[in-house]
Amino acid sequence: MNDVLTPTAEHPSTAKLPLRPHGKVLAVTSGKGGVGKTFVSANLAAALAKRGHKVLVLDADLGLANLDVVLNLYPKITLHDVFTGKAKLEDAILQAPGGFSVLLAGSGMVEYSRLTPEVRDEFLRIISSLVPHYDVVLLDTGAGISDVVLFAVSLASEVLMVATPEPTSLTDAYATIKVLVGQQQRQTVRVIVNQAARPGSGLAITNQLQQVLDRFVVTDHPIRLVHMGDIPVDPEVRQAIMRRQLLMQATPGCPAGAAISQLARKLEESVIPKPA
Ligand SMILES: Nc1ncnc2c1ncn2[C@@H]1O[C@H](COP(=O)(O)OP(=O)(O)OP(=O)(O)O)[C@@H](O)[C@H]1O
Ligand SMILES: [Mg+2]
């Protein structure tokens, strides 16, 4: 396991993806912040758990972690304690309300928001020890192209790029995909359009991004965006967050909840093997 994960490049931010452990580490990332990564990670985890998968969500947004807030959990032991050697990894794993496991970063992680060799090694060690125990590990990353975010994404076999239809979000998604293609040789990026104005409108957005990539990004390999689905703007999302409940528990049948269930199904068709 460990040798699969050993980085080969000297500088982490230019690591050439030696690090894909399995087909089941999915990075939930975005170009622009605040587009819904944490909401998607937590609720997708619940939807996958409901379908019988053993899921863990890792709060990989080391600087600005807030998965604990969304899940209404008050962890005594966090990733911070594991990083500093104060606690064992297994003691930091909590059961979330939606039937999945979480590893929360805790506010003390601010000092780890810069990618030092120690942070990189610890991150690798943690992920490589977790992967064999779960069907799916979702990394709820920060936004953009900082070296910590890029490193977290480099550990994943699949990238789920969350974007909203706003031009700023799309520009940032494009810029981020460009970096992932150049730096990590990504050939496939899966796009989730969140806060879509109406159902079905996200496909046009993914197609538009694909056209811009085809036109302006020159690579020696094809880049394929796969549209994974749209999640509509839904007032229930905000209400669930305000009540610090998972949408998939509070109102799973609302439009956004149904879209997340559909996304879980689509992932099962394309990326994650069906549970035995
Ligand atoms: N489909 C939706 N419908 C309505 N509101 C939404 C939807 N998705 C997200 N939101 C709103 O957007 C807010 C931000 O979501 P979230 O915290 O998941 O974003 P993020 O990408 O994780 O942010 P950050 O980049 O700061 O980590 C939520 O608190 C919620 O109010
Ligand atoms: Mg977040």
Report the pLDDT averaged over residues 229-247.
96
Closest residue to atom 16 of ligand 1, CA basis: 36
Share above pLDDT 70 across residues of the chain, in percent, rounded to a whole number: 90
Whole-number pLDDT of residue 115:
85
CA distance 120 to 195: 33
Q: Identify the band that residue 83 occupies on the pLDDT scale cut at 50, 70 and 90.
A: confident
For ligand 1, pick from 238, 246, 247 the residue to mutate: most ligand atoms within 8 Å of CB. Answer: 238
* Residues pairing with 58 in the sheet: 103, 139
What contacts 72, CB < 8 A, 6 or more positions away?
A: 97, 244, 245
CA distance 271 to 264: 10
Instruction: Evaluate whether 54 touches 135 at the Cβ level (below 8 Å).
Output: yes
Give the tokens for residue 172.
């940032």
- Ligand at shortest distance from the CA of 40: 1
CA distance 216 to 212: 6
Whole-number pLDDT of residue 275:
81
- Ligand at shortest distance from the CA of 194: 1
- Give the DSSP per-residue string, 242-271: HTT--HHHH-TTSHHHHHHHHHHHHHHHHT
Ligand 1 atom closest to the Cα of residue 231 is 1
Report the pLDDT averaged over residues 28-46.
97
Give the tokens for residue 82.
């594991």
Over residues 49-79, the pLDDT tens digits come to: 999 999 999 999 876 778 988 899 989 999 8
Q: Identify the band that residue 193 occupies on the pLDDT scale cut at 50, 70 and 90.
A: very high
Cα 215 to ligand 2 centre (Å): 31
Instruction: Kindly list the domain boundaries of the chain, sorted by start residue.
Output: 20-269
Entry field: residues in the chain: 276
Enclosing H/E stretch for 147 = helix 147-154
Give the tokens for residue 76.
């005594």
CATH architecture for segment(s) 20-269: 3-Layer(aba) Sandwich (3.40)
Which amino acid, 147? D
Judged against a pLDDT cut of 70, whether residue 17 lies above it is answered with: no
More confident residue, 200 or 239: 239
Residue linked to tokens 């899921």:
55
Judged against a pLDDT cut of 80, whether residue 225 lies above it is answered with: yes
Closest residue to atom 26 of ligand 1, CA basis: 34
According to DSSP, residue 77 is labeled: S
Whole-number pLDDT of residue 108:
65
Judged against a pLDDT cut of 90, whether residue 176 lies above it is answered with: yes
Instruction: Return the number of other C-beta atoms located less than 10 Å from residue 231's C-beta.
Output: 30
Question: If you average pLDDT over every residue of the chain, what do you get?
Answer: 88
Cα 68 to ligand 1 centre (Å): 14
CA distance 67 to 106: 9
Cα 138 to ligand 2 centre (Å): 13
Give the residues surrounding ligand 1 with Cβ less than 6 Å away.
30, 33-39, 61, 64, 143, 194-195, 231, 233-234, 237-238, 241, 256
Q: Identify the band that residue 112 occupies on the pLDDT scale cut at 50, 70 and 90.
A: confident
User: Which of these ranges, 36-45, 116-125, 133-142, 245-254, has the smallest mean pLDDT?
Assistant: 116-125
Give the tokens for residue 272.
């994650």
Q: Identify the band that residue 16 occupies on the pLDDT scale cut at 50, 70 and 90.
A: very low
The three-class DSSP label of residue 216 is helix
Q: Identify the band that residue 133 occupies on the pLDDT scale cut at 50, 70 and 90.
A: very high
Ligand 2 is an ion; residues with CB less than 5 A from it: 37-38
Q: Identify the band that residue 9 occupies on the pLDDT scale cut at 50, 70 and 90.
A: very low
